[in-house]
Structure 1
Amino acid sequence: AFILGFALKDILANFFSGLVLLIDTPFSFGDVVALPDGSRAVIRKIGLRLTSMYLIDSHSEIYIPNAAFQSQNIVNLSRPTSHYYYTISIPIKGDVEPARAISLMEKVVLAHPDTMGDIEQKLEAIERYYGYSGAGVKQKLKREVGVMRLLAEQEVTRMLLKIEINLKQLSDI
């Protein structure tokens, strides 16, 4: 029994850690996490024994036993804490249709350069709705810098797509 228990120790630890990760759900498929070594990864799958992640910097898969994964300090970048939340006021009349109000709120949020969304839609929204929730300090400069950042991000995304396509073609040879 002792030998069997010692042999199964790691397997059982990984199994129970996997159950805790699946029940507790600190991470889910697609979440971007910062690992203790400073690298960033995308959660691919949380299994009962292993968690698989895609390392962004090295474009490779990594498999971490759940017992080791659970004991590490990992920051989930997809679920920011309240320190990263931002509240804005959007003045809307009380007699506006709810669907129109929701659409307007979505556009105002999309117009902020630091929110996530389709870059083409963000560039369109930033010109029309940036600053809609109130005048801010250096609003025009902030809008211009936001547009420049989004254009740079768009160019980086295009280049990464080209690199990915070229690597795929290279691997098919």
Structure 2
Amino acid sequence: AFILGFALKDILANFFSGLVLLIDTPFSFGDVVALSDGSRAVIKKIGLRVTTMYLIDSHSEIYIPNANFQGENIINLSRPTSHYYYTISIPIKGDVDPARAISLMEKVVLAHPDTMGELEGKLEAIDNYYGHSGSGVKQKLKREVGRMRLLAEQDVTRMLLKIEMSLKQLSEF
């Protein structure tokens, strides 16, 4: 039993750390993170045992056992909290209805996939308002990729809610 427990220690630690990462979701697919060594990476996959990241500087993939994340300080650069904001000045003619102007600005900002907001509203806004700030490089492709990322985030959120409910029901027994 001791030998089996010792052999399975790392596997079980990585597995349970993977469950915690999937439930707590400190980061998700596509998030850009800064690792404790200063390198920046994009999250490609969060597995039950290993998290796969793409290291931006070295153009390579790294596989980190999930148990290693417990002692690491990882900064998620893609997910600001609601405590942080950025202010910009937008000139508007004096005869424009302020409520309508504010509503339009909110929808344009919400249309960017990296801004915070309710997923349903973001999906609607990305279809109607993404790219209204001007024509950009590969604008249509960026809109589709942003939409796909939001849909993937929505699916992950649904699955995590199911897992959370299942764990809650399991703990009630």
TM-score relative to the length of structure 1:
0.55
| Superposition deviation, residue 101 in structure 1 | 5.2
What is residue 50 of structure 1 aligned with on the other side?
A: 50
Query: 2:21 corresponds to which letter in structure 1?
Result: L
Is 1:34 aligned to residue 34 of structure 2?
yes
| Superposition deviation, residue 88 in structure 1 | 6.5
CA deviations 1:12-67 (Å, max 9, x no partner) are 00000000000010010000000011010000000000000000001100000000
**CA RMSD across the alignment:** 3.5
| Superposition deviation, residue 103 in structure 1 | 2.8
Q: 1-side partners of 2:42 and 2:132: how far apart?
A: 24
- If asked which structure has higher relative contact order (CA below 8 Å, sep 6+), I would say 2
Q: Which runs of 5+ in 1 are unaligned?
A: 126-150, 155-173
Query: 2:34 corresponds to which letter in structure 1?
Result: A
| Superposition deviation, residue 69 in structure 1 | 2.2
What is residue 18 of structure 2 aligned with on the other side?
A: 18
Q: 2-side partners of 1:92 and 1:4: how far apart?
A: 71
Q: Give the alignment of 1:1-173 within 5 angstroms.
A: 1-82=1-82, 84-86=84-86, 92-94=97-99, 96=100, 102-107=103-108, 109=109, 122=133, 124=134
Bigger mean CA offset, 73-82 vs 23-32: 73-82
The alignment of Structure 1 onto Structure 2 pairs a total of residues equal to 116
Residues 102 and 68 (structure 1), Cα distance of their counterparts in 2 relative to 1, 3 Å cut: same
Q: Once superposed, which parts of structure 1, at least 4 consecutive aligned residues long, lie more than 6 Å away?
A: 88-91
| Superposition deviation, residue 79 in structure 1 | 0.9
| Superposition deviation, residue 89 in structure 1 | 8.8
Is this contact kept in 2: 1:54–1:62, CA < 8 A?
yes
Q: Which runs of 5+ in 2 are unaligned?
A: 91-95, 116-125, 138-173
TM-score relative to the length of structure 2:
0.55
Query: 1:103 corresponds to which letter in structure 2?
Result: L
Q: 1-side partners of 2:80 and 2:102: how far apart?
A: 26
Is this contact kept in 2: 1:21–1:70, CA < 8 A?
no
Q: 1-side partners of 2:97 and 2:57: how far apart?
A: 43
Among all aligned residue pairs of Structure 1 and Structure 2, give the percentage whose two residues are the same amino acid. Answer: 75
Query: 2:17 corresponds to which letter in structure 1?
Result: S
